Structure 1
Amino acid sequence: MSVLEEICAQKRALVAQRKRTCPQAELERLAADASPPRGFASNLWRVIAEGGYGLIAEIKRASPSKGLIRADFDPPVLASAYEAGGATCISVLTDGPYFQGDDAFLIAARAAVSLPVLRKDFLLDPYQIIESRAIGADAVLLILAAIDDGCARELRACAFDLGMDTLVEVHDETEMRRAVALDCTFIGINNRNLATLSVDLATTERLAPFCPGDRLLVSESGLFAHVDFDRMARAGVRCFLVGESLMRQPDVAEATRALLAPTP
């Protein structure tokens, strides 16, 4: 069993447990009462139209490969720092077993800022999409490596009905072709190899040409400096998801500003 398969198996068990604790009908009521969605993809499109780079700054406490990333972990403070530094959107890891995340982190982060927020987790069931809206998410991440096309369609439709954007993540050419065939308009290219956990920015350069030019593309993982953004832009990608390299900085707001500032 791969790490991803192990994570998904545990996630399905957790979802089954949550369904017993909070029935879907109750969750739907909570979602209906949640603060209205903030436009996630539209915020990125706006920045691109203005000639800038769209930055999705990520709040991530830990990862399976790196362990604890930041000891003084305060989601509202981090979200505010990202906003002050010029981030376009925010991503929050809510997976507990592998990333030490929590739904409460997203709730607290979103309450501290005006930026739209993505829930980053292993979403496999419509229940989790409704749950995402109930905790205030404006967008959700779907990992194509973890779901089949039928599930992807169902989860995207559920998110759409709730007013949320869906970032569909791909890792290789097969997944990119699936995303395009599914008519996904918001696609993230993860530069991390799921098998080896190694990172290679050439992944974005290799996969971007398979995507029609009218789709919103995001490059994820392995981005540490503005020159990396410029390199990805030459491949046609102007939006980026950055987490660890910012989370490790003592001054997160300044690090965010520096990342977005053109290289002299």
Structure 2
Amino acid sequence: MTVLASIVEGVRADLAERRRARPLAEVRRAAAQAPAALAAPAPEDFGLICEVKRASPSAGALAEIADPAAQAAAYAAGGAAAISVLTEARRFSGTLADLDAVRAAVDIPVLRKDFMVEEYQFYEARAHGADLVLLIAAALDDAQLAAFAALARDLGMAVLAEAHTPAEVERALAIAPDLMGINTRNLKDLSVDPARFGPLAALCPPGAPLVAESGVARAADVAGYARAGARLALVGEALVRSGEPARAVEEFTAAGRAARSEGSHDAPDDRGDRTVLR
């Protein structure tokens, strides 16, 4: 079993428990009563999606983060474009309570970062204040990608689609995501190769709001992604371990903006009349 398959298996088991405790009808009512979602981040130059992330399958425990709201507020003070909240419990030590706390603490978009594999999770995300949700192409088939993207939008949420191979980029672009994430980590074996970003970015339309994911340890890594076409970088481990999250966000964001200001870095368009991002 791949790492991704193992994670999804655990997600489904935990989800079954939540469904028993809170039926779908109740969650749907809560989602309908939630305040309107904020728009997806769209920085003119470059921005950071900063993660509230306690642990990961590859690195283990990262940081205690006893106060997710304070962590998110520090990110916002540093100029974060959005906050990503890990809600998966078994491998990332996240909870929906973290999402609640962060949503109440900041006035910028909040992403529920989880392995979204069932309809229930989308109503759950909106009920807890998420503005964006993650769709991982490697975990979903084409029908699921399309159906879940439509459901997210019906609920007022934006979609970050994630891919880490050319075939997954093609599939993700077919749902016209609001943000196109390119993950340089292979979720099947957890290997990371930042060099994957450039070739995959080149498969996307010019001006696409590309999000670089994984492989960021320092500001220079962010700059490298920005030069290759990223308009956003999703960063977790480097920020939670920095000790000074606001300052780290400022530094990383400045590095990305400086790299993009060197010239036009949008990926070339060689896709003809194929689907483009919204």
TM-score computed with the length of structure 2 as normaliser: 0.88
- 1:91 aligns with 84
- 1:228 aligns with 221
Indicate the SS of the match to 2:250. Answer: helix
Native 8 Å contact 2:158 2:178 kept in 1:
no
TM-score computed with the length of structure 1 as normaliser: 0.92
- 1:7 aligns with 7
Question: Is 1:121–2:114 an aligned residue pair?
Answer: yes
- 1:193 aligns with 186
Native 8 Å contact 1:229 1:238 kept in 2:
no
- 2:24 aligns with 24
State how far apart, in whole Å, the 1-side matches of 2:159 and 2:141 are.
Answer: 16
Indicate the SS of the match to 2:180. Answer: strand
**Residue 214 of structure 1: CA displacement?**
4.5
Question: CA offsets per residue over residues 128-157 of structure 1, 9 Å max, x none?
Answer: 000000011000001111110101111111
Native 8 Å contact 1:93 1:119 kept in 2:
yes
Number of aligned residue pairs: give it.
257
Percent identical: 47
- 1:107 aligns with 100
Matches for 1:1-264 after TM superposition, within 5 Å: 1-40=1-40, 44-45=41-42, 47-48=43-44, 52-262=45-255
Native 8 Å contact 2:85 2:98 kept in 1:
yes
Native 8 Å contact 1:91 1:119 kept in 2:
yes
More helix by share: 1
Structure 1: 5+ residue runs without aligned partners?
none
State how far apart, in whole Å, the 2-side matches of 1:211 and 1:240 are.
Answer: 16
Question: CA offsets per residue over residues 16-69 of structure 1, 9 Å max, x none?
Answer: 3322221211111101111221112xxx32x22xxx312100110111121111
Question: CA offsets per residue over residues 54-103 of structure 1, 9 Å max, x none?
Answer: 21001101111211111343201100100111111000000001111000
State how far apart, in whole Å, the 1-side matches of 2:81 and 2:178 are.
Answer: 18
Question: CA offsets per residue over residues 170-195 of structure 1, 9 Å max, x none?
Answer: 01111011112333342100111223
Native 8 Å contact 1:224 1:259 kept in 2:
no
CA RMSD of aligned residues (A): 1.6
Structure 2: 5+ residue runs without aligned partners?
260-278
Native 8 Å contact 2:113 2:133 kept in 1:
yes
